[in-house]
Amino acid sequence: MAAGDGRGELSDWDDDWAIETRGIRVGHRRTAEGEHSEPIFATSSFVFASAAEAAARFAGDSAGNIYSRFTNPTVRTFEERLAAMEGGEACVATASGMAAILATCMGLLEQGDHIVSSRSIFGSTTMLFDKYLSRFGLSTDYAALSDLDDWQRLITPRTRLLFVETPSNPLTELCDIAALAELAHRHGCLLVVDNCFCTPALQQPLALGADIVIHSATKYLDGQGRAVGGAVVGDRKRVGEDVFGVLRTAGPTMSPFAAWVFLKGLETLSLRMQAHSANAARLADWLQQKPGVARVYFPGLPSHPQHDLAARQQTLPGGIVAFDVDGGRDAAWRVIDATRMLSITANLGDA
């Protein structure tokens, strides 16, 4: 594919490249300057050689950039790299993780369609489904994350999409992605997995049968809490055309500067996820031995009810640990306020 017209289609890497190599090497087409690090194309529009070429590009007869709401080379590099890491054909980058979920629903669903989502999902996602998408004729029901029978029970002839986050936030409950994909496909539905907590470094939902992967790039993909962004990864038709069409028209696109920040994040993603997992495992183990800690939730602990599934489905347990303390909310708030090294903040995956 010619440089400049990309929607995250992959042209210049091999299947046998490890994810670490993909995270560093995929997607950068060097300019005539021979730069080593990816440039930030801080430009809103691109120039045409002639009026005829402008017309041809707008008509789709000639490849190339037009305007950065449609495509931008720095954003495209991020899209191609993340697609390669997730094992998808196409990726579109978005202004935030929520914009990725919105664009996916707008691109793939229509009035009257029904969504089944896991109940334990990101709060704004519930709000998007219940408060906003419901106004446009999309309805949502919520299943118990790990209970396949519950998902099956909620599927209707109008169900088009199953939406799940695994592991869940914050109690690290898992769903069997391959089994849920099989259920979805048996009923003619798509399976969308929000892969925020594992990232492709630890879990690759598309290889397990999922159709679409969603990211809040804000979290681990950045890894240093600097920028808000998101992405949708999947096949060429649904993501490269249908979801891209929404982005191009409605406009919640990623800025070139944010894309560059996330590109730098992808270079170290695998190493960071290994370190997060190792640190979380030590913390979970330590917490488990503390008096006053009633229960620890971490997929890497043998006491986790889905420890075996986590070991099968993820390469490592991830960086999220939750715990209950004796004494209810007052006691829990005292623990939070007594911490000295931890930040009390609304983000995750930051250093």
Interface residues with ligand PLP (CB under 6 A)? 96-98, 122, 124-125, 165, 169, 194, 196, 216, 218-219, 228, 230
Q: Which is nearer to ligand PLP, 39 or 170 (CB)?
A: 170
| Min dist. Cβ of residue 112 to ligand PLP (A) | 25
| Min dist. Cβ of residue 97 to ligand PLP (A) | 2
| Min dist. Cβ of residue 350 to ligand PLP (A) | 12
Q: Which is nearer to ligand PLP, 240 or 349 (CB)?
A: 349
| Min dist. Cβ of residue 208 to ligand PLP (A) | 18
Separation CA 201–CA 341 (nearest Å): 27
What residue is closest to ligand PLP based on CB?
A: 97
| Min dist. Cβ of residue 124 to ligand PLP (A) | 6
Q: Which is nearer to ligand PLP, 194 or 211 (CB)?
A: 194
| Min dist. Cβ of residue 103 to ligand PLP (A) | 12
Q: Which is nearer to ligand PLP, 51 or 346 (CB)?
A: 346
CA angle 299, 86, 311 (to 5 degrees): 20
CA angle 91, 166, 321 (to 5 degrees): 120
Separation CA 62–CA 45 (nearest Å): 16
| Min dist. Cβ of residue 43 to ligand PLP (A) | 24
Q: Which is nearer to ligand PLP, 13 or 257 (CB)?
A: 257
Residues 140, 232, 171, 220: what is their CA dihedral angle, to the nearest 10 degrees? -160
3-class SS letters over the chain:
CCCCCCCCCCCCCCCCCCHHHHHHHCCCCCCCCCCCCCCCCCCCECCCCCHHHHHHHHHCCCCCCCECCCCCHHHHHHHHHHHHHHCCCEEEEECCHHHHHHHHHHHHCCCCCEEEEECCCCHHHHHHHHHHHHHHCCEEEEECCCCHHHHHHHCCCCEEEEEEECCCCCCCCCCCHHHHHHHHHHCCCEEEEECCCCHHHHCCHHHHCCCEEEEECCCCCCCCCCCCCEEEEECHHHHHHHHHHHHHHHCCECCHHHHHHHHHHHHHHHHHHHHHHHHHHHHHHHHHCCCCEEEEECCCCCCCCCHHHHHHHCCCCCCCCEEEECCHHHHHHHHHHHCCCCCCCCCCCCC
Q: Which is nearer to ligand PLP, 71 or 218 (CB)?
A: 218
- For residue 164, the one-letter residue type is V
Q: Which is nearer to ligand PLP, 140 or 218 (CB)?
A: 218
| Min dist. Cβ of residue 271 to ligand PLP (A) | 21
Q: Which is nearer to ligand PLP, 98 or 284 (CB)?
A: 98
| Min dist. Cβ of residue 145 to ligand PLP (A) | 13
Q: Which is nearer to ligand PLP, 10 or 319 (CB)?
A: 319
